Structure 1
């Protein structure tokens, strides 16, 4: 039986990261499209799973293959959906088996009962293995120009959904947004700023870093970089995309938004921290100014397709500059150790 190398963990067991040399070849039941892995991106979710905070192995398995930010090359597709040699990315979340009302119409990002599954996270093997399989409905083709940066599609799909929902909410009335504030200049924040700049908006990005690549990456988009407090900004944004999850920042941006402003919370807080806060003042501001605060996570097929188009339109050199390090799979352990100036670390399986 043919085997593949795969990066795995035992869910719930801290520091169980291991490169397994004899992982079984992906079963045909996983999907008709057979893909050669090129690379996977690494993000905070992977670090949290490695720390044993969450993660769920597939039924009957003890270990979980990591990797949800994929990039691969099609080896075979008997359905004719894709051709051998095509670049492809796998959609992470699959709908629940019931399904709920949203999953039944392919809005699995809005699953109501929590029975969805996710590659490399929850009950589905991830993409950090030399070969993987996909069902056609979960395979997103990529332009060949994205052959070095296609693993950015997954985080881009997250902000494509955020912007989709911001715009849906905005059109509840006459809406002419001009100014956007993005808090956090990690991969999600920078990609949120990219999509804002593609919309012709005035973009501001706030982050604590004063050195390293972040300020220049923001300026390269034609945006303004701030390393100050939210309260010190001299404008009130029409739209906020909050990507830090830091409780103080979350509360500050709710209070900072302009009248009829929209605040999208795309960062996840860790919890366990209490802040003195005037909830009544926030309530008064949100109500009297018709503001909206909403949370956003994951993405459905429509958002993945929007993200692929956004990446195709982006400056390829700017996208490439988001990748701090490329680590061969033989050095996998180093890839999962965060560096002080890392934006996006990529684990490479093939070139």
Structure 2
């Protein structure tokens, strides 16, 4: 079978190659891969900046944003042939730490977790893949064209969960939310904000292309100015920061209303210096009872939340996020950005 592989730590090693088909264990699903999403993490691995191959190997099968259809399932499992499924990315560490032992492996304390397509376990970027039933999540069949959006949706489902958990330390009835960044994560964060019944505002730098229309179709408000200009007197109760741009990260912390909560989901590059009024920032956070929280990855609870959110969403709106579908044979093209890209996916079916 064909798979999209890379040699972590090596530039220009991305390739589609023939690999052995996996054999399903007694507690595993055998799955026909339909598609994978391509995100910034995949591009970093392909550039040799990140990633770990499985022990004893020098190449890693990419793909952590999965979608597939069950070919076979163990007797007595909750899965049947034909079910639409995604595979969970992270696995708990073998020790395990306290968080992993309680199913919160997204909060692993010792860093010994592994991740499909990222860290020491092959990903889902192959025509056939296997996954333990405990780490597979069933999707509504109506999501067959867009279900690879599940994994990034889990990331923002967790972020929203964290926001509401923090907010509920006191009276909390948020009305407005600002999302910085209109990439896939930002747009999915906006979707969940709208589903929470909030007045959602999305900030991005582009003035044309599909992003403003995608935001408008959510009945949210699109902005392409500075944070201060976009927010004005809004003073959002919640900010979901989805860019990782250093200046936006700090700006986001300063524009909330009292008891504001900022969830950081974008990962910033190192080595970029900024001048920040740390005293003023600290003063605002303390005197306004504000909170800032970082959020990454997801556990099984967040996958279930994401599945529910996608099932409730307009399929046409979800499909509008996918601006390019690249066949597996040409998968390397998905790693080169094109104008108006929002979400790029690689299709895995042999017919493509």
- Equivalence for 1:40: 36
Q: What count of residue pairs does the alignment treat as equivalent?
A: 347
Cα distance per residue 1:202-257 (max 9 Å; x no partner) = 00000001011000100110100000101222121100000000000000010111
Q: Are the equivalent residues in 2 in contact too, given 1:31–1:133 (CA < 8 A)?
A: no
Give 1:160's aligned residue. Answer: 157
Aligned residue for 1:50? Answer: 46
Q: In the aligned structure 1, how far is the partner of 2:139 from the partner of 2:274?
A: 44
Q: Separation in 2 of the partners of 1:13 and 1:27?
A: 28
CA distance in 2, matches of 1:133, 1:119: 11
Please list every run of 5 or more consecutive structure 1 residues that lacks an aligned counterpart in the other structure.
Answer: none
Matches within 5 A, 1:310-329: 310-329=309-328
Q: What does residue 62 of structure 1 align with?
A: 58
Distance 1:243 1:147 in 2: 26
**2:195 matches 1:188:** no
Give the TM-score normalised by the residue count of structure 2: 0.97
Deviations for 1:11-34, whole angstroms, at most 9, x for unmatched residues? 00011001112x111143595210
Moved over 3 A (4+): 27-31
Counterpart CA distance in 2 for 1:27 and 1:163 is: 37
Q: Give 1:264 deviation, angstroms.
A: 0.2
| Cα deviation code 1:289-348 (max 9, x no counterpart) | 000001000000000000000000000000000000111111112122111211111111
The TM-score, its normalising length taken from structure 1, stands at 0.97
Q: Which residue of 1 aligns with 2:208?
A: 211
Gapped runs of 5+ residues in structure 2?
none
Partner of 1:245: 244
Cα distance in 1 for partners of 2:278, 2:22 equals 51
Give the superposed CA RMSD. 1.0
Structure 1 segment 260-271 matched on structure 2, within 5 A: 260-271=259-270
SS in structure 2 of the partner of residue 140 of structure 1: strand
Aligned-residue offset at 1:271: 1.5
- Matches of 2:253 and 2:334, distance apart in 1: 36
Partner of 1:173: 170
